[in-house]
Structure 1
Protein backbone atom coordinates (compact mmCIF):
# COMPACT_ATOMS: atom_id res chain seq x y z
CA UNK A 1 0.00 0.00 0.00
CA UNK A 2 1.49 3.34 -1.09
CA UNK A 3 0.78 6.92 -0.08
CA UNK A 4 0.22 7.85 -3.72
CA UNK A 5 -2.53 5.24 -3.97
CA UNK A 6 -4.19 6.80 -0.93
CA UNK A 7 -3.94 10.24 -2.52
CA UNK A 8 -5.69 8.90 -5.60
CA UNK A 9 -8.49 7.35 -3.54
CA UNK A 10 -9.03 10.61 -1.62
CA UNK A 11 -9.07 12.60 -4.87
CA UNK A 12 -11.66 10.29 -6.46
CA UNK A 13 -13.79 10.38 -3.31
CA UNK A 14 -13.73 14.19 -3.18
CA UNK A 15 -14.39 14.76 -6.89
CA UNK A 16 -16.71 11.77 -7.51
CA UNK A 17 -14.85 11.32 -10.77
CA UNK A 18 -11.76 9.44 -11.95
CA UNK A 19 -11.28 12.04 -14.69
CA UNK A 20 -11.34 15.03 -12.36
CA UNK A 21 -9.23 13.17 -9.81
CA UNK A 22 -6.57 12.51 -12.44
CA UNK A 23 -6.59 16.19 -13.41
CA UNK A 24 -6.14 17.19 -9.76
CA UNK A 25 -3.29 14.72 -9.27
CA UNK A 26 -1.64 15.66 -12.58
CA UNK A 27 -1.62 12.10 -13.95
CA UNK A 28 -3.36 10.40 -16.84
CA UNK A 29 -6.64 8.75 -15.91
CA UNK A 30 -5.47 5.26 -16.90
CA UNK A 31 -2.54 5.45 -14.47
CA UNK A 32 -4.76 6.62 -11.62
CA UNK A 33 -7.39 3.95 -12.33
CA UNK A 34 -4.69 1.26 -12.47
CA UNK A 35 -3.28 2.26 -9.07
CA UNK A 36 -6.73 2.33 -7.45
CA UNK A 37 -7.45 -1.11 -8.91
CA UNK A 38 -4.12 -2.42 -7.53
CA UNK A 39 -5.01 -1.09 -4.10
CA UNK A 40 -8.48 -2.67 -4.24
CA UNK A 41 -6.90 -6.00 -5.15
CA UNK A 42 -4.49 -5.73 -2.23
CA UNK A 43 -7.31 -4.86 0.17
CA UNK A 44 -9.61 -7.53 -1.22
CA UNK A 45 -12.52 -5.13 -1.56
CA UNK A 46 -13.84 -2.60 -4.04
CA UNK A 47 -13.59 0.97 -2.80
CA UNK A 48 -15.80 2.56 -5.49
CA UNK A 49 -18.96 1.72 -7.36
CA UNK A 50 -18.42 2.74 -10.97
CA UNK A 51 -21.15 3.31 -13.54
CA UNK A 52 -21.22 5.29 -16.76
CA UNK A 53 -22.87 8.16 -14.94
CA UNK A 54 -21.41 8.27 -11.43
CA UNK A 55 -18.69 7.15 -9.04
CA UNK A 56 -19.35 6.70 -5.34
CA UNK A 57 -17.72 5.05 -2.35
CA UNK A 58 -18.72 1.53 -1.35
CA UNK A 59 -19.12 0.71 2.36
CA UNK A 60 -15.51 -0.53 2.25
CA UNK A 61 -14.48 2.77 0.69
CA UNK A 62 -16.33 4.72 3.37
CA UNK A 63 -14.38 2.79 6.00
CA UNK A 64 -11.04 3.26 4.21
CA UNK A 65 -11.29 6.98 3.48
CA UNK A 66 -10.83 8.43 7.03
CA UNK A 67 -7.82 6.20 7.68
CA UNK A 68 -6.30 7.16 4.33
CA UNK A 69 -6.66 10.85 5.16
CA UNK A 70 -5.03 10.29 8.55
CA UNK A 71 -2.09 8.51 6.92
CA UNK A 72 -1.60 11.33 4.42
CA UNK A 73 -1.82 13.95 7.16
CA UNK A 74 0.72 12.03 9.26
CA UNK A 75 3.13 11.76 6.34
CA UNK A 76 2.79 15.47 5.60
CA UNK A 77 3.30 16.31 9.27
CA UNK A 78 6.41 14.10 9.43
CA UNK A 79 7.94 15.89 6.46
CA UNK A 80 7.11 19.28 8.01
CA UNK A 81 8.71 18.31 11.32
CA UNK A 82 11.91 17.21 9.57
CA UNK A 83 12.03 20.49 7.65
CA UNK A 84 11.50 22.45 10.89
CA UNK A 85 14.38 20.57 12.51
CA UNK A 86 16.73 22.01 9.89
CA UNK A 87 15.27 25.52 10.09
CA UNK A 88 12.67 25.41 7.30
CA UNK A 89 8.90 25.82 7.55
CA UNK A 90 6.95 23.63 5.13
CA UNK A 91 3.71 21.71 5.00
CA UNK A 92 0.34 23.39 5.18
CA UNK A 93 -1.48 26.02 7.20
CA UNK A 94 -5.27 25.79 7.39
CA UNK A 95 -6.87 28.92 8.84
CA UNK A 96 -10.52 29.41 9.75
CA UNK A 97 -12.37 32.62 10.48
CA UNK A 98 -15.73 34.30 10.76
CA UNK A 99 -16.30 37.21 8.34
CA UNK A 100 -16.75 39.80 11.12
CA UNK A 101 -13.30 39.38 12.69
CA UNK A 102 -11.57 42.78 12.86
CA UNK A 103 -8.99 42.50 15.66
CA UNK A 104 -6.51 40.99 13.18
CA UNK A 105 -6.13 41.83 9.49
CA UNK A 106 -6.17 38.18 8.45
CA UNK A 107 -5.51 38.71 4.70
CA UNK A 108 -2.50 40.90 5.51
CA UNK A 109 -1.22 38.34 8.04
CA UNK A 110 -1.54 35.54 5.49
CA UNK A 111 0.28 37.66 2.89
CA UNK A 112 3.16 38.32 5.30
CA UNK A 113 3.30 34.66 6.26
CA UNK A 114 3.39 33.56 2.62
CA UNK A 115 6.23 35.98 1.88
CA UNK A 116 8.25 34.55 4.76
CA UNK A 117 7.35 30.90 4.20
CA UNK A 118 6.55 30.34 0.51
CA UNK A 119 6.92 26.56 0.91
CA UNK A 120 3.79 26.40 3.10
CA UNK A 121 0.47 25.76 1.35
CA UNK A 122 -2.15 28.08 2.87
CA UNK A 123 -5.86 27.25 2.97
CA UNK A 124 -8.66 29.45 4.30
CA UNK A 125 -12.11 28.36 5.48
CA UNK A 126 -14.97 30.62 6.56
CA UNK A 127 -17.53 29.30 9.01
CA UNK A 128 -19.44 29.75 12.26
CA UNK A 129 -17.50 30.21 15.50
CA UNK A 130 -18.68 26.99 17.19
CA UNK A 131 -17.80 24.97 14.10
CA UNK A 132 -14.36 26.59 13.91
CA UNK A 133 -13.61 25.66 17.52
CA UNK A 134 -14.66 22.07 16.91
CA UNK A 135 -12.62 21.79 13.72
CA UNK A 136 -9.56 23.21 15.46
CA UNK A 137 -9.92 20.77 18.34
CA UNK A 138 -10.19 17.90 15.84
CA UNK A 139 -7.11 19.06 13.91
CA UNK A 140 -8.94 20.04 10.70
CA UNK A 141 -7.88 23.67 11.28
CA UNK A 142 -4.49 24.87 12.51
CA UNK A 143 -5.58 28.35 13.63
CA UNK A 144 -8.99 30.04 13.75
CA UNK A 145 -10.32 33.54 14.42
CA UNK A 146 -13.79 33.75 15.93
CA UNK A 147 -16.20 35.67 18.12
CA UNK A 148 -18.18 34.46 21.13
CA UNK A 149 -20.57 35.97 23.68
CA UNK A 150 -18.90 37.18 26.87
CA UNK A 151 -20.57 34.30 28.71
CA UNK A 152 -18.81 31.65 26.62
CA UNK A 153 -15.18 30.60 26.13
CA UNK A 154 -13.58 28.27 23.54
CA UNK A 155 -13.34 24.69 24.82
CA UNK A 156 -10.88 21.98 23.84
CA UNK A 157 -8.39 24.38 22.25
CA UNK A 158 -5.71 26.86 23.25
CA UNK A 159 -7.13 30.38 23.02
CA UNK A 160 -6.06 34.00 23.31
CA UNK A 161 -8.46 36.92 23.67
CA UNK A 162 -7.89 39.51 20.95
CA UNK A 163 -10.54 42.16 21.60
CA UNK A 164 -13.90 42.95 23.18
CA UNK A 165 -16.62 45.15 21.79
CA UNK A 166 -20.32 45.96 21.80
CA UNK A 167 -22.84 45.44 19.04
CA UNK A 168 -24.48 48.33 17.20
CA UNK A 169 -27.96 48.51 15.72
CA UNK A 170 -27.91 48.49 11.92
CA UNK A 171 -30.94 49.94 10.12
CA UNK A 172 -31.91 51.18 6.66
CA UNK A 173 -30.91 54.81 5.91
CA UNK A 174 -34.58 55.85 5.77
CA UNK A 175 -35.63 53.85 8.84
CA UNK A 176 -37.51 55.81 11.50
CA UNK A 177 -34.68 55.13 13.98
CA UNK A 178 -31.90 56.27 11.63
CA UNK A 179 -30.18 59.40 12.87
CA UNK A 180 -30.86 58.78 16.54
CA UNK A 181 -27.75 58.92 18.77
CA UNK A 182 -28.80 55.79 20.64
CA UNK A 183 -31.56 53.25 21.09
CA UNK A 184 -32.47 50.67 23.74
CA UNK A 185 -33.05 46.95 23.34
CA UNK A 186 -36.64 47.50 24.45
CA UNK A 187 -37.24 49.87 21.53
CA UNK A 188 -35.46 47.54 19.11
CA UNK A 189 -37.58 44.60 20.27
CA UNK A 190 -40.52 46.11 18.39
CA UNK A 191 -38.68 45.71 15.07
CA UNK A 192 -38.33 42.75 12.72
CA UNK A 193 -34.79 41.35 12.84
CA UNK A 194 -32.25 39.90 10.44
CA UNK A 195 -29.79 37.69 12.32
CA UNK A 196 -27.59 34.62 12.20
CA UNK A 197 -29.22 31.18 12.56
CA UNK A 198 -30.52 30.17 15.99
CA UNK A 199 -27.99 28.23 18.02
CA UNK A 200 -24.90 29.89 16.53
CA UNK A 201 -22.48 31.99 18.56
CA UNK A 202 -23.22 35.02 16.39
CA UNK A 203 -26.90 34.78 17.29
CA UNK A 204 -26.39 33.84 20.96
CA UNK A 205 -24.92 37.18 22.03
CA UNK A 206 -28.06 39.01 20.91
CA UNK A 207 -30.51 36.35 22.12
CA UNK A 208 -28.92 36.37 25.58
CA UNK A 209 -29.08 40.17 25.83
CA UNK A 210 -32.78 40.29 24.95
CA UNK A 211 -33.55 37.39 27.30
CA UNK A 212 -31.65 39.05 30.17
CA UNK A 213 -33.74 42.18 29.63
CA UNK A 214 -36.94 40.12 29.69
CA UNK A 215 -37.66 40.90 26.06
CA UNK A 216 -38.66 38.89 23.00
CA UNK A 217 -38.12 39.80 19.36
CA UNK A 218 -39.13 38.64 15.92
CA UNK A 219 -36.21 37.21 13.89
CA UNK A 220 -37.82 36.79 10.49
CA UNK A 221 -34.65 36.39 8.43
CA UNK A 222 -31.84 33.98 9.34
CA UNK A 223 -28.69 34.10 7.23
CA UNK A 224 -25.15 32.77 7.61
CA UNK A 225 -23.30 35.68 6.02
CA UNK A 226 -22.85 39.10 7.62
CA UNK A 227 -22.69 40.81 4.23
CA UNK A 228 -26.07 39.39 3.28
CA UNK A 229 -27.51 40.67 6.55
CA UNK A 230 -26.84 44.23 5.38
CA UNK A 231 -28.31 43.44 1.95
CA UNK A 232 -31.58 42.67 3.72
CA UNK A 233 -31.34 45.58 6.16
CA UNK A 234 -30.58 48.16 3.46
CA UNK A 235 -33.98 47.86 1.70
CA UNK A 236 -35.77 47.99 5.05
CA UNK A 237 -36.70 44.32 5.47
CA UNK A 238 -35.44 44.34 9.05
CA UNK A 239 -32.86 45.62 11.51
CA UNK A 240 -29.76 43.87 12.84
CA UNK A 241 -27.13 43.91 15.55
CA UNK A 242 -23.51 43.68 14.37
CA UNK A 243 -20.10 44.23 16.03
CA UNK A 244 -19.12 47.89 16.32
CA UNK A 245 -15.63 47.24 14.92
CA UNK A 246 -17.15 45.63 11.83
CA UNK A 247 -19.78 48.28 11.01
CA UNK A 248 -17.30 50.81 9.48
CA UNK A 249 -16.94 48.37 6.58
CA UNK A 250 -20.68 48.49 5.82
CA UNK A 251 -22.31 50.60 3.13
CA UNK A 252 -25.93 51.48 2.42
CA UNK A 253 -27.04 51.27 6.06
CA UNK A 254 -27.06 53.42 9.20
CA UNK A 255 -25.74 52.44 12.62
CA UNK A 256 -26.96 53.42 16.07
CA UNK A 257 -25.38 52.94 19.49
CA UNK A 258 -27.36 50.60 21.75
CA UNK A 259 -27.54 51.78 25.36
CA UNK A 260 -27.71 48.25 26.80
CA UNK A 261 -25.85 46.58 23.96
CA UNK A 262 -24.81 42.93 23.78
CA UNK A 263 -21.05 42.33 23.70
CA UNK A 264 -18.73 39.77 22.16
CA UNK A 265 -15.12 38.66 22.48
CA UNK A 266 -12.83 37.91 19.53
CA UNK A 267 -10.38 35.02 19.97
CA UNK A 268 -7.59 33.32 18.10
CA UNK A 269 -7.52 29.57 18.83
CA UNK A 270 -5.19 26.70 17.94
CA UNK A 271 -4.48 23.11 18.96
CA UNK A 272 -3.45 22.83 22.59
CA UNK A 273 -1.66 19.52 22.06
CA UNK A 274 0.65 19.57 19.04
CA UNK A 275 0.58 22.66 16.79
CA UNK A 276 2.30 22.10 13.45
CA UNK A 277 5.52 23.98 12.63
CA UNK A 278 3.53 26.16 10.23
CA UNK A 279 0.94 26.99 12.92
CA UNK A 280 3.70 27.84 15.39
CA UNK A 281 5.37 30.13 12.86
CA UNK A 282 2.04 31.81 12.06
CA UNK A 283 1.27 32.44 15.73
CA UNK A 284 4.78 33.83 16.19
CA UNK A 285 4.13 36.27 13.36
CA UNK A 286 0.75 37.27 14.83
CA UNK A 287 2.36 37.95 18.21
CA UNK A 288 4.33 40.80 16.67
CA UNK A 289 1.14 42.74 15.92
CA UNK A 290 -0.99 41.36 18.76
CA UNK A 291 1.27 41.20 21.85
CA UNK A 292 0.31 38.57 24.36
CA UNK A 293 -0.32 35.72 21.93
CA UNK A 294 1.73 32.83 23.32
CA UNK A 295 3.73 30.85 20.78
CA UNK A 296 3.38 27.16 21.57
CA UNK A 297 6.80 25.55 21.87
CA UNK A 298 8.29 27.69 19.13
CA UNK A 299 10.97 25.61 17.46
CA UNK A 300 11.26 27.55 14.22
CA UNK A 301 12.31 31.08 13.48
CA UNK A 302 9.94 32.90 11.13
Structure 2
Protein backbone atom coordinates (compact mmCIF):
# COMPACT_ATOMS: atom_id res chain seq x y z
CA UNK A 1 0.00 0.00 0.00
CA UNK A 2 1.54 3.30 -1.09
CA UNK A 3 1.01 6.67 0.56
CA UNK A 4 -0.18 8.17 -2.70
CA UNK A 5 -2.94 5.56 -2.82
CA UNK A 6 -4.15 6.71 0.58
CA UNK A 7 -3.84 10.38 -0.43
CA UNK A 8 -5.91 9.72 -3.54
CA UNK A 9 -8.48 7.72 -1.58
CA UNK A 10 -8.97 10.47 1.03
CA UNK A 11 -9.30 13.16 -1.67
CA UNK A 12 -12.03 11.22 -3.50
CA UNK A 13 -13.81 10.54 -0.20
CA UNK A 14 -13.76 14.26 0.65
CA UNK A 15 -14.88 15.51 -2.78
CA UNK A 16 -17.22 12.57 -3.56
CA UNK A 17 -16.17 13.07 -7.16
CA UNK A 18 -13.24 11.74 -9.19
CA UNK A 19 -12.90 14.73 -11.50
CA UNK A 20 -12.87 17.32 -8.71
CA UNK A 21 -10.43 15.24 -6.66
CA UNK A 22 -8.11 14.84 -9.65
CA UNK A 23 -8.15 18.59 -10.29
CA UNK A 24 -7.33 19.31 -6.66
CA UNK A 25 -4.50 16.77 -6.62
CA UNK A 26 -3.17 17.94 -9.99
CA UNK A 27 -3.26 14.40 -11.42
CA UNK A 28 -5.10 12.91 -14.38
CA UNK A 29 -8.52 11.42 -13.75
CA UNK A 30 -7.38 8.14 -15.32
CA UNK A 31 -4.36 8.05 -13.03
CA UNK A 32 -6.53 8.71 -9.99
CA UNK A 33 -8.98 5.99 -10.98
CA UNK A 34 -6.12 3.54 -11.49
CA UNK A 35 -4.76 4.40 -8.04
CA UNK A 36 -8.12 3.70 -6.39
CA UNK A 37 -8.53 0.44 -8.31
CA UNK A 38 -5.07 -0.67 -7.15
CA UNK A 39 -6.00 0.05 -3.55
CA UNK A 40 -9.30 -1.81 -3.86
CA UNK A 41 -7.52 -4.77 -5.45
CA UNK A 42 -4.97 -4.89 -2.62
CA UNK A 43 -7.70 -4.74 0.04
CA UNK A 44 -9.95 -7.14 -1.84
CA UNK A 45 -13.09 -4.99 -1.61
CA UNK A 46 -14.73 -1.97 -3.25
CA UNK A 47 -14.18 1.30 -1.37
CA UNK A 48 -16.68 3.44 -3.30
CA UNK A 49 -20.13 3.12 -4.81
CA UNK A 50 -19.85 4.92 -8.15
CA UNK A 51 -22.73 6.74 -9.84
CA UNK A 52 -22.83 9.19 -12.73
CA UNK A 53 -23.06 12.18 -10.37
CA UNK A 54 -20.93 11.28 -7.37
CA UNK A 55 -19.23 8.52 -5.45
CA UNK A 56 -19.97 7.46 -1.89
CA UNK A 57 -18.03 5.31 0.54
CA UNK A 58 -18.86 1.67 1.07
CA UNK A 59 -18.78 0.25 4.60
CA UNK A 60 -15.18 -0.84 3.96
CA UNK A 61 -14.38 2.64 2.66
CA UNK A 62 -15.75 4.26 5.80
CA UNK A 63 -13.63 1.91 7.92
CA UNK A 64 -10.52 2.81 5.95
CA UNK A 65 -11.08 6.57 5.91
CA UNK A 66 -10.32 7.26 9.57
CA UNK A 67 -7.20 5.11 9.51
CA UNK A 68 -5.99 6.66 6.25
CA UNK A 69 -6.42 10.17 7.65
CA UNK A 70 -4.44 9.26 10.76
CA UNK A 71 -1.62 7.73 8.71
CA UNK A 72 -1.36 10.79 6.48
CA UNK A 73 -1.41 13.11 9.50
CA UNK A 74 1.45 11.14 11.05
CA UNK A 75 3.45 11.36 7.83
CA UNK A 76 2.94 15.13 7.68
CA UNK A 77 3.96 15.41 11.31
CA UNK A 78 7.14 13.41 10.62
CA UNK A 79 8.14 15.72 7.74
CA UNK A 80 7.45 18.79 9.85
CA UNK A 81 9.39 17.39 12.82
CA UNK A 82 12.48 16.90 10.64
CA UNK A 83 12.16 20.44 9.32
CA UNK A 84 11.83 21.75 12.88
CA UNK A 85 15.04 19.99 13.91
CA UNK A 86 16.74 21.72 10.99
CA UNK A 87 15.67 25.04 12.49
CA UNK A 88 12.76 25.96 10.21
CA UNK A 89 9.10 25.40 11.00
CA UNK A 90 7.26 24.58 7.79
CA UNK A 91 4.08 22.85 6.72
CA UNK A 92 0.54 23.61 7.78
CA UNK A 93 -1.16 24.53 11.04
CA UNK A 94 -4.75 23.30 10.92
CA UNK A 95 -6.69 24.89 13.79
CA UNK A 96 -10.32 24.55 14.80
CA UNK A 97 -12.26 26.74 17.20
CA UNK A 98 -15.70 27.47 18.51
CA UNK A 99 -16.88 31.04 18.16
CA UNK A 100 -16.04 33.44 21.00
CA UNK A 101 -14.41 30.98 23.36
CA UNK A 102 -13.16 32.26 26.70
CA UNK A 103 -9.54 32.97 27.49
CA UNK A 104 -8.05 32.53 24.01
CA UNK A 105 -7.46 35.58 21.76
CA UNK A 106 -7.47 33.50 18.59
CA UNK A 107 -6.83 36.30 16.06
CA UNK A 108 -3.97 37.83 18.08
CA UNK A 109 -2.49 34.40 18.76
CA UNK A 110 -2.45 33.50 15.06
CA UNK A 111 -0.96 36.88 14.16
CA UNK A 112 1.88 36.31 16.63
CA UNK A 113 2.37 32.79 15.27
CA UNK A 114 2.60 34.06 11.69
CA UNK A 115 5.20 36.66 12.65
CA UNK A 116 7.38 33.97 14.20
CA UNK A 117 6.75 31.22 11.66
CA UNK A 118 6.02 32.83 8.26
CA UNK A 119 6.69 29.58 6.36
CA UNK A 120 3.77 27.80 8.01
CA UNK A 121 0.41 27.95 6.23
CA UNK A 122 -2.44 28.63 8.68
CA UNK A 123 -5.82 27.00 8.14
CA UNK A 124 -8.71 27.88 10.47
CA UNK A 125 -12.24 26.51 10.68
CA UNK A 126 -15.09 27.03 13.12
CA UNK A 127 -17.39 24.25 14.30
CA UNK A 128 -19.02 22.82 17.40
CA UNK A 129 -16.99 21.16 20.14
CA UNK A 130 -18.07 17.61 19.30
CA UNK A 131 -17.12 17.95 15.65
CA UNK A 132 -13.81 19.59 16.52
CA UNK A 133 -12.94 16.76 18.92
CA UNK A 134 -13.62 14.21 16.18
CA UNK A 135 -11.50 16.18 13.69
CA UNK A 136 -8.51 16.32 16.04
CA UNK A 137 -8.82 12.63 16.94
CA UNK A 138 -8.92 11.73 13.24
CA UNK A 139 -5.84 13.83 12.47
CA UNK A 140 -7.68 16.31 10.27
CA UNK A 141 -6.89 19.14 12.69
CA UNK A 142 -3.64 19.73 14.56
CA UNK A 143 -5.50 21.16 17.54
CA UNK A 144 -8.71 22.94 18.46
CA UNK A 145 -9.96 25.39 21.06
CA UNK A 146 -13.31 24.19 22.34
CA UNK A 147 -15.43 23.17 25.33
CA UNK A 148 -14.39 20.06 27.25
CA UNK A 149 -16.95 17.42 26.28
CA UNK A 150 -15.29 14.09 26.99
CA UNK A 151 -12.56 12.33 28.90
CA UNK A 152 -9.13 11.91 27.32
CA UNK A 153 -8.62 8.95 25.00
CA UNK A 154 -5.72 7.36 23.11
CA UNK A 155 -6.40 9.77 20.23
CA UNK A 156 -7.39 12.93 22.11
CA UNK A 157 -6.29 14.88 25.17
CA UNK A 158 -7.56 18.11 26.71
CA UNK A 159 -5.37 20.90 28.08
CA UNK A 160 -7.37 23.24 30.38
CA UNK A 161 -7.14 26.91 29.40
CA UNK A 162 -9.92 28.92 31.07
CA UNK A 163 -13.23 28.60 32.87
CA UNK A 164 -16.11 30.91 33.64
CA UNK A 165 -19.69 30.72 34.97
CA UNK A 166 -22.77 30.92 32.81
CA UNK A 167 -25.04 33.96 32.75
CA UNK A 168 -28.56 34.73 31.57
CA UNK A 169 -28.89 37.41 28.89
CA UNK A 170 -32.21 39.14 28.32
CA UNK A 171 -33.66 42.38 26.96
CA UNK A 172 -33.74 45.21 29.57
CA UNK A 173 -37.53 45.33 29.12
CA UNK A 174 -37.93 41.61 29.84
CA UNK A 175 -39.60 40.64 33.13
CA UNK A 176 -36.40 38.90 34.29
CA UNK A 177 -34.43 42.14 34.10
CA UNK A 178 -36.14 43.43 37.27
CA UNK A 179 -36.41 40.06 38.99
CA UNK A 180 -34.01 38.21 41.32
CA UNK A 181 -30.34 39.19 41.31
CA UNK A 182 -29.50 35.62 40.30
CA UNK A 183 -31.60 33.00 38.57
CA UNK A 184 -32.05 29.24 38.73
CA UNK A 185 -33.20 26.92 35.94
CA UNK A 186 -36.61 26.82 37.66
CA UNK A 187 -36.92 30.62 37.27
CA UNK A 188 -36.51 30.12 33.52
CA UNK A 189 -38.87 27.19 33.09
CA UNK A 190 -41.44 29.00 30.90
CA UNK A 191 -39.08 31.17 28.87
CA UNK A 192 -38.51 31.19 25.12
CA UNK A 193 -34.84 30.33 24.57
CA UNK A 194 -32.34 31.42 21.97
CA UNK A 195 -29.41 29.01 21.78
CA UNK A 196 -26.77 27.44 19.60
CA UNK A 197 -26.67 24.11 17.80
CA UNK A 198 -26.57 21.17 20.27
CA UNK A 199 -22.92 20.49 19.37
CA UNK A 200 -21.76 23.88 20.70
CA UNK A 201 -20.19 24.06 24.16
CA UNK A 202 -22.55 26.68 25.68
CA UNK A 203 -25.57 24.65 24.58
CA UNK A 204 -24.11 21.49 26.11
CA UNK A 205 -23.48 23.26 29.44
CA UNK A 206 -26.98 24.75 29.55
CA UNK A 207 -28.72 21.51 28.57
CA UNK A 208 -26.82 19.68 31.32
CA UNK A 209 -27.69 22.33 33.95
CA UNK A 210 -31.41 22.16 33.17
CA UNK A 211 -31.35 18.34 33.08
CA UNK A 212 -29.74 18.26 36.55
CA UNK A 213 -32.43 20.62 37.83
CA UNK A 214 -35.19 18.51 36.27
CA UNK A 215 -36.43 21.47 34.23
CA UNK A 216 -37.58 20.90 30.67
CA UNK A 217 -36.26 23.51 28.27
CA UNK A 218 -37.29 24.11 24.66
CA UNK A 219 -35.00 26.02 22.30
CA UNK A 220 -37.34 27.79 19.90
CA UNK A 221 -34.70 29.95 18.20
CA UNK A 222 -31.55 28.07 17.20
CA UNK A 223 -28.59 29.89 15.65
CA UNK A 224 -25.05 29.12 14.54
CA UNK A 225 -23.42 32.46 15.23
CA UNK A 226 -22.97 34.71 18.25
CA UNK A 227 -24.19 37.91 16.62
CA UNK A 228 -27.41 36.25 15.51
CA UNK A 229 -28.05 35.13 19.07
CA UNK A 230 -27.43 38.63 20.45
CA UNK A 231 -29.66 40.24 17.79
CA UNK A 232 -32.61 38.00 18.70
CA UNK A 233 -32.25 38.80 22.40
CA UNK A 234 -31.90 42.51 21.57
CA UNK A 235 -35.31 42.32 19.88
CA UNK A 236 -36.76 40.69 23.03
CA UNK A 237 -37.57 37.48 21.18
CA UNK A 238 -36.08 35.23 23.83
CA UNK A 239 -33.43 34.78 26.51
CA UNK A 240 -30.16 32.88 26.44
CA UNK A 241 -27.81 31.18 28.88
CA UNK A 242 -24.24 31.81 27.75
CA UNK A 243 -20.67 32.08 29.11
CA UNK A 244 -20.21 35.24 31.17
CA UNK A 245 -17.91 37.01 28.71
CA UNK A 246 -20.78 37.25 26.20
CA UNK A 247 -22.26 40.08 28.29
CA UNK A 248 -19.49 42.38 27.09
CA UNK A 249 -20.45 41.87 23.44
CA UNK A 250 -23.77 43.74 23.66
CA UNK A 251 -23.89 46.41 26.40
CA UNK A 252 -27.59 47.05 25.82
CA UNK A 253 -28.56 43.62 27.20
CA UNK A 254 -29.16 42.72 30.84
CA UNK A 255 -26.95 40.03 32.37
CA UNK A 256 -27.94 37.94 35.42
CA UNK A 257 -25.90 35.11 37.00
CA UNK A 258 -27.24 31.58 36.73
CA UNK A 259 -27.28 29.77 40.07
CA UNK A 260 -26.94 26.03 39.80
CA UNK A 261 -23.95 23.94 40.83
CA UNK A 262 -20.17 24.03 40.39
CA UNK A 263 -20.61 21.95 37.23
CA UNK A 264 -22.38 24.88 35.56
CA UNK A 265 -19.27 26.40 34.08
CA UNK A 266 -17.90 26.77 30.59
CA UNK A 267 -14.41 25.27 30.48
CA UNK A 268 -12.29 26.13 27.47
CA UNK A 269 -9.66 23.55 26.57
CA UNK A 270 -7.14 22.93 23.84
CA UNK A 271 -7.93 19.63 22.15
CA UNK A 272 -4.76 17.89 21.00
CA UNK A 273 -3.60 14.47 19.87
CA UNK A 274 -1.30 12.53 22.25
CA UNK A 275 1.88 14.46 23.05
CA UNK A 276 4.04 12.21 20.88
CA UNK A 277 1.75 12.77 17.88
CA UNK A 278 1.37 16.56 18.20
CA UNK A 279 2.75 18.43 15.21
CA UNK A 280 5.61 20.92 15.64
CA UNK A 281 3.24 23.70 14.56
CA UNK A 282 0.71 22.73 17.23
CA UNK A 283 3.44 22.66 19.88
CA UNK A 284 4.70 26.07 18.76
CA UNK A 285 1.20 27.56 18.94
CA UNK A 286 0.62 26.17 22.44
CA UNK A 287 4.00 27.54 23.54
CA UNK A 288 2.93 31.00 22.35
CA UNK A 289 -0.37 30.70 24.21
CA UNK A 290 1.29 29.57 27.42
CA UNK A 291 3.78 32.46 27.39
CA UNK A 292 1.05 35.01 26.63
CA UNK A 293 2.79 36.10 23.45
CA UNK A 294 -0.48 36.34 21.52
| TM-score normalised to structure 2 length | 0.78
C-alpha contact 1:89 1:120 (8 A) present in aligned 2: yes
Residue 244 (str. 1) matches residue 244 (str. 2):
yes
Kindly indicate whether residue 82 of structure 2 is the aligned counterpart of residue 82 of structure 1. Answer: yes
Give the distance between the partners of 1:290 and 1:120, measured in 2 at CA: 18
Given the superposition, is the C-alpha separation of residues 173 and 273 from structure 1 closer, same or farther in structure 2, using an over 3 Å criterion?
Answer: same
Spell out structure 1 runs of 4+ moving beyond 6 A: none
8 A contact 1:133–1:155 mirrored in 2 = no
Structure 2 portions without partners, runs of 5+: none
- Unaligned regions of 5+ residues in structure 1, if any? 292-302
Residue 108 of structure 1, CA deviation: 2.0
Give the CA RMSD over aligned residues: 3.5
Provide the C-alpha distance between the structure 1 equivalents of 2:150 and 2:54, rounded to a whole number of angstroms: 44
* Deviation of 1:25 (Å): 1.0
CA distance change for structure 1 residues 173 and 29 in 2, over 3 Å: closer, same or farther? farther
Query: Deviation digits for residues 135-186 of structure 1, max 9, x if unmatched?
Result: 54554433222235xxx88534544433332222212354334477944325
Identify the residue that residue 155 of structure 1 maps to in structure 2: 152
TM-score, structure 1 normalization: 0.76
Instruction: Give the number of equivalent residue pairs.
Output: 286
Provide Cα deviations, 1:231-270, integer angstroms capped at 9, x if missing partner: 433333321111121232247x612222637433322342
Q: 1:259 to 1:279 in 2, by over 3 A?
A: closer
CA spacing shift, 1:290–1:33, aligned 2, 3 Å: same
Residue 284 (structure 2) aligns with = 281
Contact 1:183 1:257 in 2 (8 A): yes
Q: Which has the higher helix share?
A: 2
CA distance in 2, matches of 1:105, 1:131: 21
* Pairwise CA distance, 1:103: 0.9
Corresponding position of 2:202:
202
Q: State the shift of 1:78 in Å.
A: 1.9
- For each residue in 1:198-223, what CA deviation from the matched residue of structure 2 results, as whole angstroms up to 9, or x when unmatched? 686423533555566x5625323263
Match of 2:269 among 242, 254, 267: 267
